[in-house]
Amino acid sequence: MRGNRTAGPRPPRARARSAAIGAFVVLAAMMPAAASATGAQEVDAELSYVCGLPSGRQPVTVRVSATFPERAEPGEAVSPTDVTTTVEFPAEAVADLTALEAATARAATRLTVGVAQNAATAEATWRGTAEPAALPGSGPLTLTATGDVPSVTGRGDGDLSFSAGNLAVDLELGTADGTAAGPGSLTVDCTPDADTPDGGLLATVPVGTGASEPSGSPSSPGPSSGAPDPSPGTPKEPEGRQGDRAPKVTEDTPGAVADRDAPQCAYDEENPFTSASLNAYITGYTNVRKLNGASLLPLSCVLLEQGALDVIPDEDGVLHVVINATGRLHHQGRMQTPPFKATFLTFGFTPTTATMVLEQTGPMTVRFDTALLDKLVGETVIRVPLSLRVTDLEVNGTPLDVGPDCRTEKPLSSTDPDPANHPGDHLVLHGRGEHSPPEDATGYMLLDGGPLTGEATIPAFTGCGSKGEKLDRLLTASVSGPGNYIKQVQGRTCLPSSPVFETPLTKGQCTEDLQPYQIPVPQR
């Protein structure tokens, strides 16, 4: 195996290589991380907002509650738990909704949270969903949303503060008979009231030895509500070269800086890289049709090997350069994702928590077709057979023994554009991009990454249960079925045999230990 390259800036270089990144789908949202073992501080803040409704701007009361650790060490993830966002719309707002012939409303909230440590600021999105609620005949409408939120890591000593900013409330409106009301959905955009004290401050977590005592109202307020300065992951210098300054948000991050809390994605002695090897991170979202919601695709690693290159003229005489590659998911030497916990509502009301992995059961193939017209146009098709295995299950707080071999009875499947040459069950994802140098590429291009989309059928489950208690039907009824839309995002690839590091003139493609530099951001 080649030895690791020394750390240090390198000049720009031409990289004559192309390959695509394999993809996978996850079935439910990530569970929140546990609160810090050092103790916890409870936060319950009542905030004043002004929201845009059909009849105009209306005052709205928002209550945010969460549990934060009392303090943290530099480099330790701070993971708020038990996060609840309660929105109380006044009677005037309810009248706006009933005027649309709505009888019920189901809410999804998106709260912008500013994060600050010393002079560094960042921004995260706290998402939540609420159960459907009947509109009251009189008085206010209260909607309570819960959900998972990103963890944040302080990079050095100093208080880490969290401040509530802008809020968006997505309302799904229904009539009394269950059909869609009015426009069917409505997004209500809210901003903090100008007189909100302390800039909407929620909590402060002391980090390191130089931090103050924990408090929900520290002396130094966080960033201004709704407009934190640079976003996390996009500090003035790339991570690993900026020192311990900026807080790091590990989900919903608009930036593209490598996050070393990411899973290991490097070659080793058992899997040495070659001149044709590539590695990259992937993440994204998928709709789970039966659960009527979007779920996070957890960050995972893919290792690729570039193969044959074909030059094929089309019927108009345009030459197409086609790169074929193979790939594999990589987690601790296995062709699978890292294990992850997920939660969902079985039949819409029973909370179910599962620990799962996605296992690659056959070859991952990649076809990247480029043609040079007035610009470079690339079309990508990725095929990979993936089975979902459940290792632990808890229904309504009661653990159920799923046994050692609980999985989908066959791989996830998509409609293949070329079934004669690609039979069998497998997931298919498509990507398209364009590049007109010196401009940046748009869409999905292999060197720069980008979004890949597809639709999958989740098969029935088998082998679930033990001691005579069969759980196959529970899992099948909860998530199995067709029409699950996927949008996955790939980060920039790293070529370990010829790495390009971050410099003032080049984008980072590899870290100093030859892992992918860029952590992609999931997109809906």
The CATH number of whichever domain residue 189 belongs to comes to 2.60.40
**In a shared domain, residues 200 and 266:** no
On whether residue 230 sits in a domain, the answer given is no
Residue 237 neighbours by CB under 8 Å, 6+ apart: none
Coil, strand or helix at 417: coil
Residue 213 inside a domain? The answer is no
Residues 177 and 282 in one domain: no
**Measured between alpha carbons, how far is 22 from 365 in angstroms, rounded to an integer?**
8
Residue 22 lies inside a defined structural domain of this protein: no
Residue 152 lies in a domain: yes
CB count within 10 Å of CB 305 equals: 15
Same domain as 176, residue 281: no
Q: What angle do CA 382, 362, 325 make, to 5 degrees?
A: 40
Quick one: which of 487, 514, 484, 489 has its CA closest to 499? 514
Question: Among the three residues 205, 229, 246, which one is the final residue of a domain in this structure?
Answer: 205
> Residue 418 falls within a domain, yes or no?
yes
Count of the separate structural domains present in the chain: 2
Same domain, 289 and 419: yes
Asked if the structure places residue 93 within a domain, the reply is yes
Say if residues 83 and 91 touch (Cβ distance below 8 Å). no
CA distances from 395 to 197, 242, 332, 474, 479 (A): 42, 45, 29, 10, 14
pTM for the predicted model, two decimal places: 0.53
8-state DSSP, 496: T
Closest to 296 measured CA to CA, from 49, 486, 452: 486
Same domain, 284 and 178: no
Range of the structural domain that residue 165 is part of: 40-205
**Is residue 319 in some structural domain?**
no
With tokens 């912008």, the residue in question is 112
Residues 196 and 274 in one domain: no
Residues 194, 299 within the same domain? no
Q: Are residues 54 and 130 in the same domain?
A: yes
For residues 460 and 471, what is the distance between their CA atoms, to the nearest angstrom? 11
In a structure prediction context, what are the per-residue pLDDT tens digits for the chain, which is 524 residues long?
A: 333 333 333 333 333 333 333 333 333 222 223 333 347 899 999 999 999 888 888 899 999 999 999 988 887 778 899 999 999 999 998 998 988 888 898 888 889 888 888 877 777 788 888 888 999 988 999 999 988 777 777 767 888 899 999 998 988 888 888 777 777 778 889 999 887 777 789 999 998 865 455 444 333 333 333 333 323 332 222 232 222 333 444 443 333 333 457 889 988 887 889 988 999 999 888 777 776 666 677 889 999 998 877 888 888 888 888 888 899 999 888 899 888 776 665 555 567 777 888 899 999 999 999 888 888 899 999 999 999 998 888 877 788 899 989 999 999 999 999 999 999 999 999 999 998 877 888 899 887 899 999 999 999 999 998 877 788 888 888 788 999 888 999 999 999 988 888 877 777 889 989 999 999 888 77
Identify whether residues 201 and 264 lie together within a single domain.
no
**Residue 190: which H helix or E strand, with range?**
strand 180-192
